[in-house]
């Protein structure tokens, strides 16, 4: 199928787009892991000194993995992805490509409000763009029975954003690593919601 950048109603095959999407996420995860520093010494104490880095990596990895897994399942149900959704996903790929940079920054500056803020914003924007992309796919596939069976629960999908908002409040008031902690909680909740949704739909 021909994909034209100028056509409002153009589309591309999901297999083609998914291949591109998977490749980009693989590169981002690779960049993420190579930024983890080696312990200063071969001891447990030296490893524990890097616990902030490991948790930051875990948060970022789980986010990227969940993006891949959720969208992989979605792309198996539809045959084509519309131009509007492609642009939204393109914006999301751009934002997620910044995750390794800000993961390292917060790992080295856990009590820095600017580092906390940028780390949180990256995840908020990623989550919003992912929701917009999924919403656009649902909009352009109104008669897809498998897609309608899965459904799109806006209230449940908003829970991670609410937790991130609480994290921002904590960071700017009484607990500087609040965003960092809220990112961990929200990404775990995001995964749980996704699992529950799959279990509910069989």
At residue 137's C-alpha, the angle toward residues 186 and 146, to 5°, is: 95
Across 142-152, b (16+ Cβ under 10 Å) vs e yields: eeeeebeebee
Q: How far apart are CA 36 and CA 90, in angstroms?
A: 27
What DSSP assignment string belongs to 88-127?
Answer: HHHHHHHHHTTHHHHHHHHHH-TT-HHHHHHHHHHHHHHH
Residue 3, in any domain of the structure: no
Residue 2, in any domain of the structure: no
The helix (run of H) or strand (run of E) holding residue 14 is helix 14-34
Residue 5, in any domain of the structure: no
Per-residue pLDDT tens over the stretch 47-105? 999 999 999 999 999 999 999 988 888 888 888 889 999 999 999 999 999 999 999 99
Residue 1, in any domain of the structure: no
Q: How far apart are CA 198 and CA 191, in angstroms?
A: 11
Per-residue pLDDT tens over the stretch 163-188? 999 999 999 999 999 999 999 999 99
Give the pLDDT band (50/70/90) at residue 43: very high
Residue 91, in any domain of the structure: yes
Q: Which domain does 35 fall in, by range?
A: 12-200
Number of domains making up the chain: 1
Residue 48, in any domain of the structure: yes
């Amino acid at each position: 199928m021909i994909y034209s950048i100028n056509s409002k109603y153009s589309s591309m095959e999901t297999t083609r787009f998914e291949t591109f999407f998977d490749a980009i996420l693989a590169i981002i995860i690779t960049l993420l892991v190579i930024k983890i520093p080696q312990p200063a010494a071969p001891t447990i104490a030296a490893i524990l000194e890097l616990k902030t880095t490991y948790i930051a990596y875990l948060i970022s990895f789980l986010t990227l993995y969940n993006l891949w897994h959720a969208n992989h399942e979605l792309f198996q149900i539809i045959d084509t992805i519309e131009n509007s959704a492609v642009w939204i996903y393109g914006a999301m790929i751009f934002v997620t490509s910044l995750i390794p940079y800000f993961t390292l920054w917060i790992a080295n500056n856990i009590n820095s409000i600017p580092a906390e803020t940028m780390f949180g914003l990256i995840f908020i924007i990623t989550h919003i763009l992912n929701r917009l992309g999924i919403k656009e796919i649902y909009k352009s596939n109104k008669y897809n029975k498998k897609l309608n069976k899965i459904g799109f629960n806006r209230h449940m999908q908003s829970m991670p954003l609410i937790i991130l908002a609480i994290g921002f409040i904590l960071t700017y008031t009484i607990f500087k690593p609040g965003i960092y902690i809220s990112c961990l909680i929200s990404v775990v909740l995001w995964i749980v919601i996704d699992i529950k949704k799959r279990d509910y739909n069989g």
